[in-house]
Amino acid sequence: MNTKLHFKNFGQGDPLVILHGLFGTLDNWNGMAKILSERFCVFTVDLRNHGQSFHDDEMNYKVMVNDLVDFLQSEWIYECHLIGHSMGGKLAMQFACDNSDIVKSLVVSDISPKKYKEGHGDIFNALNSIDLETVTKRSDVQNVLESLGFEPAIVLFLMKNLHFNTITDEYEWKMNLPVLTKNYPQLMGEVCAGQKYDGPTLFLKGDHSDYITSEDYPLLDKIFKHNQVQTVLNSGHWIHADNPGGFLQELNKFYNTLAIP
């Protein structure tokens, strides 16, 4: 089994690695990666059990950190900037705390290190209720998700995981749904407990999201000595999709302070 993370890369410059969230893929970040490639060599990756990367029964931040270490070594990357969203943000924080000598800067999009209540149960229930062996066209799955009341943006996001296997002539999920379902509580757990990262750190929060609140600021200050929190207007949890211009503006302000060309 090939255990190297599937990736794409764009541009030249200092390496910048982007980590997607739960149910996501690297393709969610294509547009942003191409813009950022004007000043970085950008790597987008599919995390394990997502997208085109390998499936494995283990799914926690320890093994995902190891995956990322192996990936960077395979690409001869000794230092990099990190951006992570949601689950990818938790991974980015844990990676930075474990490998502070590698991470030159850290951007975390709409997530904090704290433990979260499990809030994706409706999505897991919906996905697990669909018998893909009976699905004959993509619209069958889309109709089920829409009938369950999911917002159009969520339906579109989830549908990007649906893949037609030309060998078996059946639809299948790109993600490893059984493993994600089983390990979901771990993915919502606390990261960086008792650790620190002293590099420059930017937390971005959506003004319509409650994933980061002012109550989290003491914890952020405790772990991330040089952090700042910026709110992006007109955005929810998926800031980079809801307001890409506002997201990019905050990134550029942050990277300008680091004197990155």
For residue 101, what are its two tokens?
């000598």
Q: How far apart are CA 29 and CA 38, in angstroms?
A: 15
The first and second tokens of residue 43, run together, are 């790597």
pTM, whole model, 2 decimals?
A: 0.95
The CATH class, in words, for 7-116+189-257 is alpha beta
pLDDT at 32: 97
Q: Where are the domains of the chain?
A: 7-116+189-257, 121-183
- Give the pLDDT confidence score for residue 120 in this predicted structure: 85
pLDDT tens figures, 136-189: 999 999 999 999 999 898 999 999 999 999 999 999 999 999 999 999 999 999
For residue 121, the model assigns a pLDDT of 84
pLDDT-based confidence at 2, cuts 50/70/90? confident
pLDDT at 87 over 80: yes
Nearest CA to 63 among 76, 48, 74?
48
Q: pLDDT for 46-68, tens place per residue?
A: 999 999 999 999 999 999 999 99
Instruction: Dump pLDDT digits (tens) for 207-260.
Output: 999 999 999 999 999 999 999 999 999 999 999 999 999 999 999 999 999 977
Check residue 58 and give its pLDDT. Answer: 98
Quote the tokens at residue 31: 């547009």
Query: Residue 260: what pLDDT?
Result: 74
CA distance 95 to 93: 5
Tens of pLDDT, residue by residue over 106-133, are: 999 999 999 999 878 899 999 999 999 9
Q: Are 225 and 189 in contact (CB under 8 A)?
A: no
- Please say whether the beta carbons of 220 and 192 come within 8 A: no
Whether the per-residue pLDDT at 261 is higher than 90: the answer is no
Rounded to whole angstroms, how far apart are CA atoms 42 and 52? 18
Give the DSSP per-residue string, 107-161. Answer: EEES--SS------HHHHHHHHH--GGG--SHHHHHHHHHHTT--HHHHHHHHTT
- Is there a contact between 12 and 4 (Cβ–Cβ < 8 Å)? no
Q: Phi/psi at 133 (nearest 5 deg)?
A: -65, -20
Specify the pLDDT at position 3: 84
